[in-house]
Structure 1
């Protein structure tokens, strides 16, 4: 079967918009920045990912393997409570392992396991504290290609957990998509909701709300006020904004988005994951641009 067919099936299953990889993308590179504004912190992130699909012997079953790498930098003012140098640079690497198989009554199963590490890498070697595990289990019914339906739709139900998205606890995965007009479609669910205007075959605009963030280990710890020891950092975002997409070709897409941060929380955490110091994170603007290759 052609790679195009494989990806179309897999992308239907793994439609997710956390900070971590969209498995429908074969290659993606993007840059994100939260300008400092009136806050103490400026956040920037460079991210690149690669995915490769493999057809399995069982009919309708596929495996997807990929890598997702990010470099995150925090630029902040001098802080009287701790040494900021240990919080300036973070490396994140995930291995994506996805599996999908057809079920009865037009349903499809999707499973993803994502081991990796997220750390400031101030020590010589990685440790178990640097390791993160993420995973998703979803069930999908897709009627977007059914020619007998006037208003195509897709339903995805499942659960998702990530140790590295700023919300390190299980979340429901709910997504209901419908194209209700030749130029309009919407997607309602968790972790993202959007309304999309298809201006033409090349230009699209999308209003959206979603979750974002990251969690990383602090290898040698950060001493706060000479008493408390921070072992990790967690950044969680709730944002809403507008995204513009320019389809350079059928498979190559440029995108740019501007968002307003509805909620922004940056905390240093103890070994037991309790927050011990909240950093000033009153940033209001979130900007991202990138290019992706998808089939």
Structure 2
């Protein structure tokens, strides 16, 4: 049954790791499991575990896709404050689901749309409407060239938490595959320079915004005299990194990356998104390792063409 599925080319996600399919023209990521660690972000220690699955099925000339993802953020706040008790912000979850639609429009244009909810919360008092954030992407892409050397431009609009509080952002991207080794992408949501050493090894320099805007459903005391619920923990920054991928089996790869977030934001907001307490994290380094289930993009395109010819 695997030949009936391909990974969708664009998804809206809470973490841009799932958007990595946009910066590598050679591979498609079906699933991934990663662990990340940031030892010191201005006095805060952060551990992150995330898993994702992205599948799609051709229906006629269109593609319907389903993306699922989970992230756990474990914060260790090493500073004391009398403003607010930070204990209930230490463990945050993000659960993502999105439905995508891709359809060719002619003249190498493709329409892309993706929508779905993300629950971002500590789930301290169950699930409420305050836990939900909707992720939206709508746009079109145009492609020139063949598989071995091509250019693609994407123009669209996205809505998400890449910069913390949910907002609309332009989705603009220019991607070029120069030859069998070099490719790059410039724009939002991701900028990258990729070097495919050989079939097994790949290096990439990447920069992309990454954000969390999680609800705390517990009641918390602020300044010792106010009790608030549905406060928010905002964490975001520009994630710059060097990534290495080693494909040790036909469909499996090990990934490792080291990065630096030069100007992060980490603060607590009230239920009207006004600042309560700013941890002033400044900057910090991190590393991340993971396993990925990958398919070769060219082989999957040929498989789909064969299936369409059979139909």
Label 1:248 to 1:262 Cα distance change in 2 as closer, same or farther (>3 A): same
Alignment correspondent of 1:90: 92
Partners of 1:109 and 1:99 in 2: CA distance: 8
Alignment correspondent of 1:45: 48
Query: What TM-score, normalized by structure 2, do the two folds share?
Result: 0.83
CA contact (8 A) 2:196 2:202 kept: yes
1:181-219: CA deviation from partner (whole Å, max 9, x where unpaired): 442211111121111122222111111111112110010
CA contact (8 A) 1:17 1:210 kept: no
Alignment correspondent of 1:29: 33
The Cα shift of 1:76 comes to 1.1
CA contact (8 A) 2:203 2:245 kept: yes
Instruction: Report whether the alignment pairs 1:278 with 2:281.
Output: no
CA contact (8 A) 2:133 2:166 kept: no
Alignment correspondent of 2:106: 104
**What are the ranges of 5 or more consecutive residues in structure 1 without an aligned counterpart?**
none
1:32-70: CA deviation from partner (whole Å, max 9, x where unpaired): 111126x221111111112332232xx211111232111
Alignment correspondent of 1:67: 68
Partners of 1:32 and 1:80 in 2: CA distance: 30
User: Mapping of 1:149-160 within 5 angstroms?
Assistant: 151-160=149-158
Label 1:165 to 1:249 Cα distance change in 2 as closer, same or farther (>3 A): farther
Label 1:141 to 1:5 Cα distance change in 2 as closer, same or farther (>3 A): farther
CA contact (8 A) 1:155 1:177 kept: yes
Task: Give the one of 166, 182, 187 matched to 1:189.
Answer: 187
1:209-267: CA deviation from partner (whole Å, max 9, x where unpaired): 11112110010243221245471111011122211111223432221111111211101
Deviation larger for 128-137 or 244-253: 244-253
Equivalent pairs counted in the alignment come to 285
CA contact (8 A) 1:35 1:285 kept: yes
CA contact (8 A) 2:4 2:58 kept: no
Aligned-residue Cα RMSD (Å) equals 2.4
